[in-house]
């Protein structure tokens, strides 16, 4: 009875979970077999099976639809078997039955053991100095080298994402790093001071130096067997790092072997330019000992700057507090209190003068003083700490993290006005200018933001915030509601998806293109199609539709497929304005006769050729011009004839009047003569 009841429960669970998902017609993802111990913070894990090799141990992570995954990293890591990394076996969009929609799915090799650390407040098995080099540092070095060679970063190195891949606990590897934006799942303790200041969604891809810092923090946890700052919240950890440095905050008074002190000081150095790179770590691993770094803390002010009931002795710490209290930070800066503190307490005349100049420019602004004041505070915060992220009215982001933040807001239908305002007011440019020569790639990235500003200045289809969304997220799927739940990442997937959507639509009066589809095409096209996109918003509906058909025809010709019957039918249903643009009734009849044939063949190329035949259009224009000329000549002849009749009538009338006058005169004269004769007689 118990076995029967258990079987019934299993069957009920399977029915509730629905059928399994299938990825690439090969990998079966079982929705009724969740694997909680392998789930990521924002991606659930489920058992996976390879049809070609059922004995292979796999599992799958289902990405959350509202968060943009790192598709470019998926492409780079697929099939890579580097030590220190779980192998990414396959990835792609898949219809996920529990949600009834397509979700990005990632299949990994399945660890035989558990995580190195269950959660950040848990105790874990310590790894001593003799094993940690072999089990953790060596594979980590190989993993980071592999990532660096492929031009990508991991951004998820932490002990809760470190797995024992074998039963004996000898092989350790870092897990998923692609299901969410870079460092989105990272607790701030594993992030550098600069990255920890940014919003998790906007930390950006970073560099290998960020991964090495995360590795250093992970080593501290593994050596101690616990989280040394478990009693502190994120804000307190950040404050301690700023005041004391990362090494002192995390290691403190803990007794560690001298060789490990050396490597930890190198990896946890808060100055990125002084932090160990992968070559330094590799040299240390090979036995070469390097001089331990002595981290220099930020200069402490002689007296604190009072702000919101606290006193701040470091510029960086004060900048963090002001960024979190935007409106309250404006008065002391405008009143000159910050400048005075920098001159007298910090004894930094250069910074003080820079703040003074920024304030003076803001106060002298003629128009939009509020915008000038906001930009003033943004510049001031950058002066106080130039390596910090962009901070503007409560939005804190690394420049390359703004795109993922925008994507998350659009997916959640959030308010994007602040990001738009930042781009239009060229806030990123202020940050890039402050970096100087510290970051060699700033000019190119600044140019990218200049292009985004240009897109925002145009309101037509293919531009605006939607264009910025896809330009800043090169692997984001098209967000158009026309596509339903389909997951379109590449341009070659767009037309088949629209064709499938057309087959399900009853109303074909709307265009098969909206602002998202147009922006997606503009951002993903290999050539510049902005002129074509501008034509989509032409007031003449026929011209706009022809511009759209032209784009679709080009993509079908270049990317396929050969037949798109449903999409062709959708286009055909909208073609009336284009057909009616021809003046010849015979030509319109001919088009109406031929168009259904093209629709049945599903060829957008043929439809475009038919509707935009240069010879036919030229002939139509010529014949129409000739007809207009004939009509004009006929009109003139009619007017002439009418003019002649009127002239004859006027002549008759004039002669009649003249004749009547003469006759009247003669009669008068005769009458007068008779009267005179009669009088004489």
Going by C-alpha positions, the residue among 89, 25, 78 that lies closest to residue 51 is 25
Q: Is 644 left (phi over 0), alpha (psi -120 to 50) or beta?
A: alpha
Hey, which bits of 364-459 come out as E strands? 390-392, 395-397
655, burial (CB in 10 Å: exposed 0-12, middle 13-18, buried 19+):
exposed
Give residues with Cβ within 8 angstroms of 201, minimum separation 6. Answer: 181, 184, 401, 404, 405, 408
Residue 400: the pLDDT is 93
For the chain, which domains are there?
Answer: 2-109 (3.30.200.20), 129-285 (1.10.510.10), 298-388 (no CATH), 480-612 (no CATH)
φ, ψ dihedrals at 510, nearest 5°: -75, 155
Q: Name the strand (E) or helix (H) holding 237.
A: helix 234-244
* Local mean pLDDT, 10-residue blocks, the chain (681 residues): 43 57 96 96 97 96 93 95 94 92 95 94 89 93 94 97 92 96 97 97 95 97 95 94 93 88 93 91 81 67 94 95 96 96 95 96 88 96 95 96 95 93 95 77 82 94 96 92 90 95 88 96 91 91 92 94 95 88 77 88 92 71 66 72 67 74 76 73 62
223-249 b/e (C-beta count within 10 Å ≥ 16 → b)? bbebbbbeeeeeeebbbbbbbebbbeb
Angle between helices 585-601 and 565-573 (to 10 degrees): 160
Name the residue among 388, 277, 383, 404 with its Cα closest to residue 339.
383
Spatial CA neighbour of 57 closest among 107, 110, 20 = 110
Residue with tokens 């697929």: 78
Instruction: Give the integer Cα–Cα distance in Å for 144 and 165.
Output: 18
Number of Cβ atoms within 10 Å of the Cβ of 354: 19
Place of tokens 């890579």: 80
Residue 574 and residue 610 in contact, taking contact as beta carbons nearer than 8 Å: no
What radius of gyration, in Å, describes the C-alpha atoms of the chain? 38
Sheet arrangement for strand 43-50: 21-23, 27-34, 43-50, 53-63, 101-109, 88-96
Q: In the structure encoding, which two tokens stand for residue 179, read together?
A: 């299901």
């Amino acid at each position: 009875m118990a076995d029967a009841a258990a079987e019934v429960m299993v069957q009920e669970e399977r029915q509730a979970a629905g059928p399994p998902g299938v990825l690439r017609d090969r990998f079966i993802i079982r929705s009724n077999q969740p694997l909680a111990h392998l789930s990521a913070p924002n991606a659930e894990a489920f058992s996976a099976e390879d049809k070609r090799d059922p004995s292979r141990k796999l599992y799958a992570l289902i990405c959350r639809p509202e968060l943009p995954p790192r598709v470019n990293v998926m492409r780079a890591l697929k099939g890579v078997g580097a030590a220190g990394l779980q192998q990414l076996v396959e990835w792609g969009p898949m219809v996920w039955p529990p949600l009834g929609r397509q979700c990005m799915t990632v299949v990994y090799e399945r660890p035989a053991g558990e995580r190195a650390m269950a959660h950040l407040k848990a105790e874990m098995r310590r790894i001593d100095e003799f094993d940690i080099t072999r089990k953790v540092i060596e594979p980590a070095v190989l993993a980071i080298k592999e990532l660096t060679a492929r031009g990508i970063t991991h951004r998820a190195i932490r002990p809760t994402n470190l797995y024992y891949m074998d039963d004996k606990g000898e092989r350790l590897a870092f897990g998923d790093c692609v299901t969410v934006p870079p460092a989105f799942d990272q607790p701030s303790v594993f992030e550098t001071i600069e990255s920890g200041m940014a919003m998790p969604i906007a930390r950006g891809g970073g560099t290998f130096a960020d991964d090495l810092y995360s590795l250093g923090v992970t080593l501290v946890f593994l050596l101690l067997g616990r989280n040394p700052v478990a009693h502190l919240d994120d804000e307190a950890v950040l404050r301690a790092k700023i005041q004391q440095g990362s090494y002192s905050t995390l290691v403190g008074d803990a007794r560690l072997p001298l060789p490990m002190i050396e490597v930890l000081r190198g990896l946890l150095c808060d100055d990125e330019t002084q932090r160990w790179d992968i070559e330094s770590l590799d040299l240390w691993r090979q036995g070469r000992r390097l001089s331990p770094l002595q981290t220099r803390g930020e200069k402490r002010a002689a007296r604190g700057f009072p702000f919101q009931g606290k006193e701040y002795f470091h510029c960086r710490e004060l900048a963090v507090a002001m960024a979190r209290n935007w409106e309250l930070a404006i008065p002391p800066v405008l009143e000159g209190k910050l400048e005075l503190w920098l001159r007298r307490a910090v004894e930094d005349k250069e910074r003080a003068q820079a703040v003074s100049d920024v304030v003076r420019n803001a106060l002298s602004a003629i128009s939009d003083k509020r915008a000038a004041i906001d930009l003033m505070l943004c510049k001031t915060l950058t002066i106080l700490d130039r390596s910090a992220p962009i901070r503007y009215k409560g939005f804190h982001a690394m420049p390359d993290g703004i795109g993922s933040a925008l994507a998350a807001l659009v997916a959640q239908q959030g308010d994007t006005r602040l990001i738009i305002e930042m781009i239009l007011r060229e806030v990123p440019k202020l940050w890039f200018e402050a970096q100087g020569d510290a970051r060699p790639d700033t000019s190119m990235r600044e140019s990218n933001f200049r292009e985004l500003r240009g897109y925002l200045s145009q309101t037509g289809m293919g531009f605006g915030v939607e264009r910025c969304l896809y330009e800043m997220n090169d692997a984001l799927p098209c967000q158009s509601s026309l596509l339903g739940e389909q997951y379109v990442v590449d341009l070659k997937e767009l037309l088949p998806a629209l064709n499938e959507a057309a087959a399900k639509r009853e109303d074909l009066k709307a265009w098969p293109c909206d602002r998202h589809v147009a922006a997606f095409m503009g951002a993903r096209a290999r050539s510049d199609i902005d002129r074509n996109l501008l034509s989509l918003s032409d007031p003449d509906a026929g011209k706009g539709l022809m511009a759209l058909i032209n784009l679709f025809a080009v993509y079908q010709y270049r990317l396929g497929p050969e037949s798109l019957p449903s999409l062709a039918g959708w286009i055909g249903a909208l073609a009336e304005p284009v057909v009616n643009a021809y003046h010849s009734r015979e030509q319109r009849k001919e088009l109406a006769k031929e168009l259904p044939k093209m629709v049945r063949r599903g060829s957008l190329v043929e439809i475009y050729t038919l509707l935009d035949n240069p010879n036919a259009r030229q002939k139509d224009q010529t014949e129409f011009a000739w007809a207009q000329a004939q009509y004009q000549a006929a009109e003139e002849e009619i007017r002439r004839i009418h003019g002649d009749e009127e002239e004859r009538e006027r002549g008759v009338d004039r002669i009649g009047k003249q004749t009547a006058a003469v006759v009247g005169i003669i009669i008068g004269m005769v009458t007068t003569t008779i009267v005179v004769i009669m009088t004489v007689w």
